[in-house]
Amino acid sequence: MSNLDESREKIGEIDKQIADLFEKRMDVVGVIAEYKREHDLRVEDVARERTLIRDNCAYIKNSAYKPYYTEFQNAVLDVSKAYQHRLLSGIRTPSGGENVAKTVISVKTALGGYDIIVERGSLNKADKYFDLKRKVLIVTDDGVPGEYAEALANLSEEALTLVIKAGEPSKNFDNYKRIIEALVGADFTRTDCIVAVGGGVVGDMAGFAAATYMRGIDFYNVPTTVLAQVDSSVGGKTAIDFCGYKNILGSFYPPKCVIVDTNTLKTLEKRQISNGLAESLKMAATCDEKLFSIFENDDPIERIDEIIIRSIGIKKSIVDADEHESGLRRVLNFGHTVGHAIESNCPELLHGECVGIGMLHMCSPQVKERIKSALNKLNLPTYAEVPFEKAQKAILHDKKTAGDKITTVFVDDIGSYRFLNEETKAFSDRIKREWNK
- If the CB atoms of residues 354 and 411 are measured against ligand NAD, the closer one turns out to be 354
Q: Is 103 in the site for ligand NAD (CB under 6 A)?
A: no
Sign for the CA dihedral angle at 108, 305, 277, 128 comes to negative
340 is catalytic: yes
Please choose, from the candidates 126, 380, 370, 118, the residue with its C-alpha nearest in 3D space to the C-alpha of residue 230: 118
Q: How many CB atoms lie within 10 A of CB 349?
A: 20
Residues recorded for the chain: 437
CA distance 349 to 429: 25
Q: Is 198 in the site for ligand NAD (CB under 6 A)?
A: yes
370 is catalytic: no
Burial classification of residue 239, based on how many CB atoms lie within 10 Å of its CB (0-12 exposed, 13-18 middle, 19 or more buried): buried
Asked if residues 141 and 119 have their Cβ atoms less than 8 Å apart, the reply is no
Which stretch, 73-81, 107-115, 136-144, 333-341, contacts ligand NAD (CB under 6 A)?
Answer: 136-144
- If the CB atoms of residues 84 and 99 are measured against ligand NAD, the closer one turns out to be 99
Question: Of the listed 102, 120, 316, 336, which one is catalytic?
Answer: 336
Q: Is 235 in the site for ligand NAD (CB under 6 A)?
A: yes
Tell me the site size for ligand NAD, rule CB under 6 A.
27
Alpha helices in 92-221, H assignment, sequence order: 146-155, 173-185, 200-212
Which stretch, 87-95, 138-146, 187-195, 297-305, contacts ligand NAD (CB under 6 A)?
Answer: 138-146
- If the CB atoms of residues 80 and 99 are measured against ligand NAD, the closer one turns out to be 99
329 is catalytic: yes
Which stretch, 142-150, 384-392, 417-425, 427-435, contacts ligand NAD (CB under 6 A)?
Answer: 142-150
Minimum distance of ligand NAD from residue 144's CB (angstroms): 4
- If the CB atoms of residues 32 and 166 are measured against ligand NAD, the closer one turns out to be 166
315 is catalytic: yes
Which of 43, 139, 176, 204 is in the footprint of ligand NAD by CB under 6 A? Answer: 204
Residue 205: CB partners within 8 Å, gap ≥ 6? Answer: 139, 164, 170, 171, 175, 176, 179, 196, 238, 239, 240
Which of 102, 135, 171, 370 is in the footprint of ligand NAD by CB under 6 A? Answer: 171
Q: Is 224 in the site for ligand NAD (CB under 6 A)?
A: yes
Which of 145, 163, 317, 428 is in the footprint of ligand NAD by CB under 6 A? Answer: 145
Which of 166, 180, 396, 420 is in the footprint of ligand NAD by CB under 6 A? Answer: 166
Please choose, from the candidates 263, 256, 5, the residue with its C-alpha nearest in 3D space to the C-alpha of residue 118: 263
310 is catalytic: no
End-to-end CA distance of the chain: 57
Q: How far is CA 72 from CA 10, 53, 65, in A?
A: 20, 9, 10
Q: Is 346 in the site for ligand NAD (CB under 6 A)?
A: no
Q: Is 200 in the site for ligand NAD (CB under 6 A)?
A: yes
Q: Is 306 in the site for ligand NAD (CB under 6 A)?
A: no
- If the CB atoms of residues 356 and 431 are measured against ligand NAD, the closer one turns out to be 356
- If the CB atoms of residues 265 and 371 are measured against ligand NAD, the closer one turns out to be 265
Q: How many CA atoms lie within 13 A of 327 on its CB side?
A: 4
DSSP structure string for 166-185: SSGGGSSHHHHHHHHHHHHH
Q: Is 231 in the site for ligand NAD (CB under 6 A)?
A: yes
CA distance 234 to 254: 8
Please choose, from the candidates 148, 267, 270, 153, the residue with its C-alpha nearest in 3D space to the C-alpha of residue 197: 148
CA distance 144 to 149: 9
- Which residues bind to ligand NAD, rule: CB under 6 A? 141, 143-145, 166-168, 171, 198-202, 204, 224-225, 227-228, 231-232, 235, 237, 247, 264, 267-268, 272
Which residues form the catalytic set? 215, 237, 279, 315, 325, 329, 333, 336, 340, 351
